[in-house]
Amino acid sequence: MSVIEKLRNIDRRFIFVAIALTVIVPLLRPIGFPIAVSPSVQRLYDAIEQLPPGSKVLMSFDYDPSTMPEVYPMNLAIAQHCFSRNLKVVGIALWPMGVSLGQQALETAAEECGKLYGTDYVNLGYKTGGMVVILAMGRDLRETFPEDFRGTPIEQLPIMEGVRNLNSFKLVVDFSAGDPGVAAWVMIAQARYHKKVGAGCTAVSAPAFYPYLNTGQLVGLLGGMKGAAEYEKLLQSQGPATAGMDAQSIAHAVIIFFILFGNLVMLITKRKTERRSL
C-alpha cells in the first residue's frame, strides 16, 4: 500500500486523537489571540445599554445541557450586564431544561451584583407549546404563568407588580438552541406585539437568523461560544467563553488543514489514476 493510499484510509481514531489534543493543549496553555467584536453582538449590547434603569427585560431560556457550552456563557454574560445596569429580569423557558440552566445563570449573576430573587429577578418556569405560549403571554401573562417555577403565586413577587403581558417588557432576549426559539419569538413577540427581540443562539442555527437581523426583526444576535466571548469582551470580563477561544481557533485551523489535506490527497490520487489510464 502506497503512502497516499495509507493516508486516504487512515484510521479515523488518529483524527479523533488529533482533535482532542488541539482542544486540550490550548486550554492548558492559553495563547491569548485578540477577539474582534462583530456588529450583531455590538447591537445587542447597545440595545441593553440604552434601556433606562429599572426597565424589565424578558429572558427566555430555550436551550438544554446539550448546547450548554455555547449558550450558557451568553446567558450568564447578558444577565450580568442587565444586573449591572439595574435592569429587572423575568425569565421563562420553552424548553424544560432551560429553567434549571437559566436559574443557575441568573443566581450566579445576581450573587455577583447583589440582586434579590423576587425583587430584581424571577424565573417563571417552563410551559410547553412554543409559539402558542408566546401568543398567550402577549395577551395575558398571568393566566399563562400564574406561579414562578417554585410554585410561588406571582402576586407575591414584587417584580411582577404591574406586569400584565408582553407590553410590560422593554426588551426580549431569547437564548435558543433550536425550535421553539428565536423564530417563534420573532414571529410572535416582534411581528405581532412589536417588541424588541434580541437573541443568543447556537452557532449551528445562527446563519438562518441573519435575514431577521437584516430586516431589524432582531436587534442583535450572538452566535455560539464566539458570540458569548465577544459579549464578555464588551463587558471586560474573563468568562467561560473567552477561556475557550484559543482552543476554538486552533481546532478550526486543524479542521481547515484536514479539508485541504484531504483534497490534496484526492488530487494526487486522481492524477495517478489518469496517468495509469494513459
- Which of positions 8-27 make contact with other proteins (CB under 8 A)? 10, 12-13, 15-16, 18-20, 23-24, 27
Q: Which of 96, 119, 271, 273 binds other proteins (CB under 8 A)?
A: 96
Q: Which of 77, 190, 198, 234 binds other proteins (CB under 8 A)?
A: 190
Considering the rule CB under 8 A, would residue 60 count as an interface residue with other proteins? no
Nearer Cβ to other proteins, position 23 or 51?
23
Q: Pick from 76, 51, 40: which is nearest to 220 by CA?
A: 40
CB of 59 to other proteins, least distance (A): 16
Considering the rule CB under 8 A, would residue 211 count as an interface residue with other proteins? yes
Considering the rule CB under 8 A, would residue 28 count as an interface residue with other proteins? yes
Rounded Cα distance, 51 and 147, in Å: 27
Rounded Cα distance, 202 and 81, in Å: 20
Cis previous bond, 240, omega within 30? no
Q: Which of 39, 52, 53, 114 binds other proteins (CB under 8 A)?
A: 39
Give the number of C-alpha atoms closer than 13 A to the C-alpha of residue 137, restricted to the C-beta side. Answer: 31
Rounded Cα distance, 186 and 209, in Å: 10
Q: Which of 4, 51, 97, 268 binds other proteins (CB under 8 A)?
A: 97
Sheet with 121-126: list strands edge to edge. Answer: 121-126, 88-93, 56-62, 171-176, 197-201, 221-223
Q: Which of 42, 55, 86, 104 binds other proteins (CB under 8 A)?
A: 104
Q: Which of 206, 219, 222, 234 binds other proteins (CB under 8 A)?
A: 206
Chain positions 213 to 272 lying near other proteins, rule: CB under 8 A, are 213-215, 217, 223-226, 240, 243-256, 258-259, 261-263, 266
CB 119 within 8 A of CB 159: yes
CB of 172 to other proteins, least distance (A): 14
CB of 266 to other proteins, least distance (A): 6
Residues contacting other proteins: total by CB under 8 A: 96
Q: What is the DSSP string of 132-146?
A: HHHHHHHH-HHHH-S
Chain positions 124 to 183 lying near other proteins, rule: CB under 8 A, are 125-129, 131-133, 135-136, 139-140, 143-147, 149-151, 183
Nearer Cβ to other proteins, position 51 or 178?
178
Rounded Cα distance, 74 and 51, in Å: 19
CB of 57 to other proteins, least distance (A): 21
Strand pairing partners for 117? 121
Nearer Cβ to other proteins, position 36 or 278?
36
Q: Which of 2, 50, 66, 238 binds other proteins (CB under 8 A)?
A: 66
CA distances from 110 to 60, 73, 74, 154, 265 (A): 17, 15, 15, 20, 54
Q: Pick from 185, 202, 203: which is nearest to 194 by CA?
A: 185
Q: Which of 186, 199, 219, 234 binds other proteins (CB under 8 A)?
A: 186
